[in-house]
């Protein structure tokens, strides 16, 4: 018989040993190692009770991508100059279905970031219950300040190479930071032409050519559906709560839309230029204006603040200094650190739900846990986007479009079932809020691990 402190010591030693192994194999890959540590901290104690996973070294195998494809993307600027970018596709795990995950276009993109995103994707996709493997890709291309034609030429050049590695039964990319409807249109148009096949090799497509209703909204809306489940399980509701959201992209703006619909007061948004704080709260009309600014004109939030007296703009800052009940980080990784978490805690926050992938640093997550704040990790809370990508694949495969109502119903059900899986996988001792980090990692791991065990050593 061991007592709790013995267990903690064993957990710590095992984690240190596992991380030393991963660090040797993935030296300097900060984001990948950060994501891997969170998963290992939850899964290692679980596999102690399930030695079959250990004997087959399932966790180590999951953390070694099936393959990583790297390639050069050359394209011509409007002025005739030649640009060279680097692109990747990380095909991490095909255990549960064709590789699935977005493409990111951002100057910071590198192998570590894409490996972390693909690893998160593996457990997230598993949690959806759909037949989705895990991948991620992208390029160190910065779409900011580029004309539509330049973006088109870049997408076409990238797809010239990527097309040979993807397909509806092989690997199905979608959007992520810097890749939205415009980019998916250019990418799909070039894929279709090269392969001479109209097939669901990408998701997030326009409605006119095989896209699904609600795919654009799915990540943000799904995040709010998860938040509602989490609040309800702790005897709270969203109506009347003050919410801080970061980001002003696909995830953030649709999370804001659904939060408003549910009666919450949304006080903040942010972009790479800084954060806006509207002490009166956004209205549907204000949000429409911001959506037009960000999605149609590709403008900056600063312009919005300049036009609206009473809206404060904090240059190069984040929204975490504002007193709120709920925080939804929806921009990018590591955007909410321990100091920000402590500020939120002092301001009385009681729920943090990750719309982005790994927006909270490990220190922030520790601080929130110590303060007994409800915390939903991205792999659970933002799974609605990839879930509706899965639904888009179904519609493409059957050549039968679904109604918006049916897709939204499916989204709600999937987010509810993910919440249930997290709670069922890990029971927190009484008096503490549920540990969704442990729950999501264990439940997500279990399904992939069972498939991998069934396949034998491959
Ligand atoms: P978008 O490109 O639509 O929006 C990203 C937003 O975050 C923009 O407002 C952008 O600012 C801001 N941002 C991006 N990088 C930084 C940075 N380094 N510093 C400050 N602000 C930044 O992307 P999405 O909304 O699609 O993605 C946001 C997050 O959600 C990412 O972590 C992504 O991986 C995750 N996610 C996305 C899903 C999807 O379906 N799209 C699904 C699940 C998770 P600016 O407007 O100035 O560019
Ligand atoms: O991080 C994510 O889950 C996404 N960017 C969406 C992936 C997808 O395939 O829809």
Q: Is the pTM of this model over 0.95?
A: yes
Q: Which atom of ligand 1 is nearest to the CA of 179?
A: 2
Q: Which atom of ligand 1 is nearest to the CA of 382?
A: 43
Length of the chain counted residue by residue: 458
What's the CA-to-centroid distance between 355 and ligand 1, angstroms?
A: 9
> Token pair 């978490």 is at which residue?
341
pLDDT tens for each residue of 249-258: 999 999 999 9
DSSP state of 402: P
CB-count exposure of residue 291 (10 Å: 0-12, 13-18, 19+): middle
Are the C-beta atoms of 330 and 271 separated by less than 8 Å? no
Spans of the chain, pLDDT less than 50: 1-2
Task: Tell which residue, 205, 247, 218, 196, has the closest CA to residue 410.
Answer: 218
C-alpha dist (Å) from residue 323 to 159, 185, 275, 345, 441: 45, 40, 14, 9, 30
User: Taking the C-alpha atoms of 51, 55, 59 and 63 in order, what is their torsion angle to the nearest 10 degrees?
Assistant: 180
Q: To 10 degrees, what angle do helices 384-398 and 111-128 make?
A: 70
The pLDDT, as a whole number, for residue 423 is 95
> Token pair 């990692």 is at which residue?
441
Ligand 2 pocket: which residues have CB below 6 Å? 100-102, 121, 124, 174, 176, 203, 357, 385-386, 389
Q: Which atom of ligand 1 is nearest to the CA of 215?
A: 40
User: Taking the C-alpha atoms of 103, 383, 342 and 316 in order, what is their torsion angle to the nearest 10 degrees?
Assistant: 30
Among 115, 124, 136, 205, which one carries the catalytic annotation?
136
Helix (H) or strand (E) holding 103: strand 99-105
Ligand nearest to the CA of 256: 1
What's the CA-to-centroid distance between 272 and ligand 1, angstroms?
A: 9
Rounded CA separation 335/456 (Å): 40
What's the CA-to-centroid distance between 83 and ligand 2, angstroms?
A: 27
Q: Which atom of ligand 2 is nearest to the CA of 175?
A: 5
Ligand nearest to the CA of 132: 2
What's the CA-to-centroid distance between 291 and ligand 2, angstroms?
A: 20
Rounded CA separation 24/30 (Å): 12
pLDDT tens for each residue of 22-80: 999 999 999 999 999 999 999 999 999 999 999 999 999 999 999 999 999 999 999 99
Tally Cβ neighbours within 10 Å of residue 38: 21
The pLDDT, as a whole number, for residue 3 is 59
Helix (H) or strand (E) holding 176: none
User: Taking the C-alpha atoms of 222, 228, 230 and 231 in order, what is their torsion angle to the nearest 10 degrees?
Assistant: 160
The pLDDT, as a whole number, for residue 1 is 44
Using most ligand atoms within 8 A of CB, pick from 183, 222, 294, 331 the residue to mutate for ligand 1: 331
Would you state the structure tokens that stand for residue 261, as one six-digit string? Answer: 């619909």
Q: Catalytic residue at 286?
A: no
List of domains in the chain: 2-62 (no CATH), 67-199 (3.40.50.10860), 216-381 (3.40.50.720)
Ligand nearest to the CA of 203: 2
Q: Who contacts 392 (Cβ-Cβ below 8 Å, separation ≥6)?
A: 200, 203, 204, 205, 210, 211, 212, 215
pLDDT tens for each residue of 184-219: 999 999 999 999 999 999 999 999 999 999 999 999
What phi and psi values does residue 377 have, to the nearest 5 degrees?
A: -75, 150
């Amino acid at each position: 018989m061991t007592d709790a402190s013995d267990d903690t010591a064993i957990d710590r030693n095992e984690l240190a040993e596992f991380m030393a192994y991963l660090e040797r194999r993935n030296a300097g890959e900060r984001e990948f190692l950060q994501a891997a540590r969170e998963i290992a901290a939850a899964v290692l104690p679980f596999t102690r009770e399930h030695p079959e996973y250990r004997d087959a070294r399932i966790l180590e195998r999951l953390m070694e991508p099936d393959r990583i494809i790297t390639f050069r993307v050359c394209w011509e600027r409007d002025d005739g100059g030649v640009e060279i970018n680097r692109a990747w596709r990380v095909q991490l795990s095909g255990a549960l279905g064709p590789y699935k995950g977005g493409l990111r276009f951002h100057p910071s993109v590198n192998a570590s970031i894409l490996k972390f995103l693909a690893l998160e994707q593996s457990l997230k996709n598993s949690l959806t219950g759909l037949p989705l493997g895990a991948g991620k890709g992208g390029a160190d291309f910065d779409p900011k300040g580029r004309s539509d034609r330049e973006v088109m030429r870049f997408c076409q050049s990238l797809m010239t190479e990527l097309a040979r590695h993807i397909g509806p039964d092989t690997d199905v990319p979608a959007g992520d930071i810097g890749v939205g409807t415009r980019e998916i249109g250019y990418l799909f148009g070039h894929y279709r032409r090269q392969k001479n096949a109209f097939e669901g090799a990408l998701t997030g497509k326009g409605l006119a050519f095989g896209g699904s209703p609600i795919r654009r909204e799915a990540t943000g809306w799904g995040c709010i559906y998860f938040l509602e489940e989490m609040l309800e399980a702790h005897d709270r509701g969203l109506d009347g709560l003050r919410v801080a959201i970061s980001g002003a992209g696909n995830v953030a703006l649709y999370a804001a839309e659904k939060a408003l619909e549910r009666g919450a007061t949304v006080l903040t948004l942010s972009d790479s230029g800084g954060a806006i704080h509207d002490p009166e709260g956004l209205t549907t009309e204000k949000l429409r204006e911001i959506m037009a600014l960000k999605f149609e004109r590709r403008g900056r939030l600063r312009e919005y603040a300049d036009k609206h007296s009473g809206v404060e703009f904090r240059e190069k800052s984040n929204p975490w200094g504002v007193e709120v009940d709920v925080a939804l980080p929806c921009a990018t990784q590591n955007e909410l650190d321990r100091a920000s978490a402590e500020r939120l805690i002092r301001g009385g926050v009681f729920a943090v739900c990750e719309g982005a992938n790994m927006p909270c640093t490990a220190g922030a997550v520790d601080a929130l846990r110590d303060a007994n704040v409800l915390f939903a990790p991205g792999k659970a809370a933002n799974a609605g986007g990839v879930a509706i990508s899965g639904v888009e694949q179904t519609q493409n495969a059957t050549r039968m479009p679904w109604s918006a109502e049916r897709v939204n119903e499916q989204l709600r059900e999937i987010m509810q079932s993910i919440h249930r899986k997290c709670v069922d996988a890990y029971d927190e001792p009484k008096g503490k809020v549920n540990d969704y980090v442990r729950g999501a990692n264990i439940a997500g791991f279990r399904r992939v691990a069972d498939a991998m065990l069934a396949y034998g050593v491959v």
